[in-house]
């Protein structure tokens, strides 16, 4: 019985499509996006904790080349928020809980 459930579970997991989310580009430059991010209160507070004034961070971003700003914006786009659980992870956890409930 367990082998059948395991095979069924593995087949189900392998058949699930993968979803990839990304940022949708908006009007304006990458520099504007980074500067807007620095202006957010929670980001400014974190910068202050690290010893960087928000005005100093804005000046540094303004002094960057377009390639440097694009690189920074790309890294910001790929950063994962702490504690985020993807839909696939959530579905996998739910299926495991259901399988354990069925087997027990």
pLDDT tens for each residue of 34-77: 888 888 888 888 888 888 888 888 888 888 888 888 888 888 77
In a domain, 100, yes or no: no
Q: Does a structural domain hold residue 49? A: yes
Global pTM? 0.48
- Tell me if 21 is assigned to some domain: no
How many structural domains does the chain have?
Answer: 1
Tell me how many degrees the CA angle 25-28-31 measures, rounded to the nearest 5.
95
Let me know if residue 90 belongs to a domain: no
**What share of the chain has pLDDT > 70, as a percent?**
71
Residue 38 lies in a domain: yes
Q: Which residues of 27-61 are buried (b: 16+ CB within 10 A; e: fewer)?
A: eeebbebbbeebeeeeebeebeeeeeebeebbeeb
In a domain? residue 37: yes
Question: Is 20 among the domain residues?
Answer: no
């Amino acid at each position: 019985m367990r082998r059948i459930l395991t095979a069924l579970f593995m087949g189900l997991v392998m058949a699930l499509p993968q979803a990839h989310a990304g940022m949708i580009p908006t009007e304006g430059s990458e520099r504007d996006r980074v500067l807007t991010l620095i202006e957010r209160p929670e980001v400014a507070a974190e910068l202050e904790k690290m010893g960087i004034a928000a005005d100093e961070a804005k000046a540094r971003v303004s002094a960057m080349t377009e390639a440097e700003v694009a690189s920074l914006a790309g890294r910001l786009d790929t950063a994962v928020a702490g504690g985020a659980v993807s839909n696939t992870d959530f579905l996998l956890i739910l299926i495991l809980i259901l399988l354990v409930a069925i087997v027990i």
